[in-house]
Amino acid sequence: MGYLIAVTSDQHINSTMGLSLPSLELDDGGTYTANRTQRWLWDCWRLYWQDVEQLKTNTGYRLLSVFNGDIAEGDFKGRTHQLISRNKSTTLRHARAVLERPIAMSDWALFIRGTGAHVGKGGWMEEELAQDCDIAMRNGEAASWYAWRGMVGKLPLDLSHHSRLGSDPWTLINPLGKLAYKIENDCYRKRQPLPLVVRSHRHAFADTENNFPVRVIVTGAWQATPEYMFKTDLPPEPNIGGLIVRVDDDGTWTVTTKRYPMKTPKLQTLPPLTG
């Protein structure tokens, strides 16, 4: 039996620049209507899962859906006004609705805890979502993980949320090389097979591909540019999309990166002078 692994991350549901339902009823009776960017993100999200579902139907493979951190946005450091709601119950309800279709088509779900500034200390918002999911892979009494290393069929897989990337295009994957060699040495020491490593957090795709014995991939995101990104060395136009990993019966595996390019902002011009 083969397997499919759908990896998405950094949805930041509840951010006004993050993934959102087209409309959401708020707890005070009002309604939030997604902005133009969010409607585009929602269309991309639906296209991604349509592709996953179609591939699952065509192959008959079992599906593991990985939510690799920062599903929701709680702004626990109080850094932004770009929130749909400050009510955490509304945020969790919103996230459950967004994940409803992916969970319904999956055989297993794996929730990785993200950044405390977004999902609370201990990743409690992701833990809460995972506890409500019947197909979540459990970690003892917990239903979410800081990191997960295991076998999917014959593929060793290493998952965690946080990663580092170089700040320039020519240094982008440099930190991943260090991580690749570190994991390689760790696996040799423990006599474990070399895994496919997936990280997230930086809202940009990066891939060591054939450059190192261990392949390390950093995923894109499902959040457009929030105000915080203008204060960092992150790219102002984040990469939108996710991964689909196909693991065949013989242990061979392939990774497909699903990208949804954002429109390039227009150059601004000076207004005409009057008088």
The 10s digit of each residue's pLDDT in 6-51 is: 999 999 999 999 999 999 999 999 999 999 999 999 999 999 999 9
Mean residue pLDDT across the chain: 95
Residue 205 DSSP one-character state? -
Q: Which two tokens stand for residue 81?
A: 């006004």
Say which CATH class 3-259 falls into.
alpha beta
Distances (CA, A) of 114 to 120, 123, 212, 220, 262: 9, 6, 26, 14, 24
Domain coordinates of the chain in residue numbers? 3-259
**Burial bucket for residue 42 (CB in 10 Å: 0-12, 13-18, 19+):** middle
Is residue 175 within 8 Å of 166, Cβ to Cβ? Answer: yes
3-state secondary structure of 11: coil
> Of 89, 134, 97, 86, whose CA–CA distance to 11 is shortest?
97
Question: H or E segment at 46?
Answer: helix 36-59
The 10s digit of each residue's pLDDT in 224-265 is: 998 877 777 655 689 999 999 999 999 999 999 999 999 888
**Among the listed ranges 116-120, 126-130, 165-169, 180-184, which one has the minimum average pLDDT value?**
165-169
**Residue corresponding to tokens 């200390």:** 121
Which pLDDT belongs to residue 233?
61
The C-alpha atoms of residue 266 and residue 125 are separated, in whole angstroms, by: 37
The C-alpha atoms of residue 54 and residue 60 are separated, in whole angstroms, by: 10
